[in-house]
Structure 1
């Protein structure tokens, strides 16, 4: 439950109901109308309002209803969402970040780290259900870079937790 409170900000992820367009810039792009995909590579930046996704490669999937999925990869890929009132900015990074409209889910895989203010959540896979506001995390294989366990640092409620670096 504490993790769900910590990750309350990403609930909207990319807001497809918004009138704000999603803007993409990259070194190269390949659009395939038949497959409904757009593949961007090289220093990709995807922005909607103040929500931002940076990666080496991003694939956008479209269905007849509109944008259905975003897959980003990098070393690491990075997702940032601005703070809401009373909450700190959400800053997440992982080697793979996936957003699924159908599943209402953000998934951070491989060396995933999510920071909100001074709260930190680490795991090999972190999934966030944006409707139910439920976080599921899994550890991975221990390595030089990771203990292989899920790790959390949650600051006391009274501490200043609105750091925005």
Structure 2
């Protein structure tokens, strides 16, 4: 199955206070995390990633996806075009906090290819997916998600490359239960 990345201008970052139907996405790599206080599903999709975290009766879903991707609006907590930099935070009931920071970085050609090669060479842990080339550029996009967990928190660091745009999206998010 061909897996090619959409253009960077089409991307949105959204956070929901609910889970989303898996049928809405095409998953390439996934991992489930189970801890006493929470559990999570982290997946790389065609346009970015989906993280669904559940703890203390709260569900938070983070999505980096194409704006063409039809997603519900019900219980959407945040929605931003993936441009520039943005930091946000949500404090939920039951002592749950969610914070995120994302940046879209245009990168010089040589540096872009160096970063892309390093991601594929150094990715011994976490989730990694190499996308097919679109035919115009020899190497396809790369998505890498590093996952760090503690007893009551989880941090993800996602890096998504966009060769046609010579841009990199970096997302760092923390899901935590106070106490």
Taking structure 2 as the reference length, the TM-score comes to 0.28
Structure number having the greater helix percentage? 2
Taking structure 1 as the reference length, the TM-score comes to 0.29
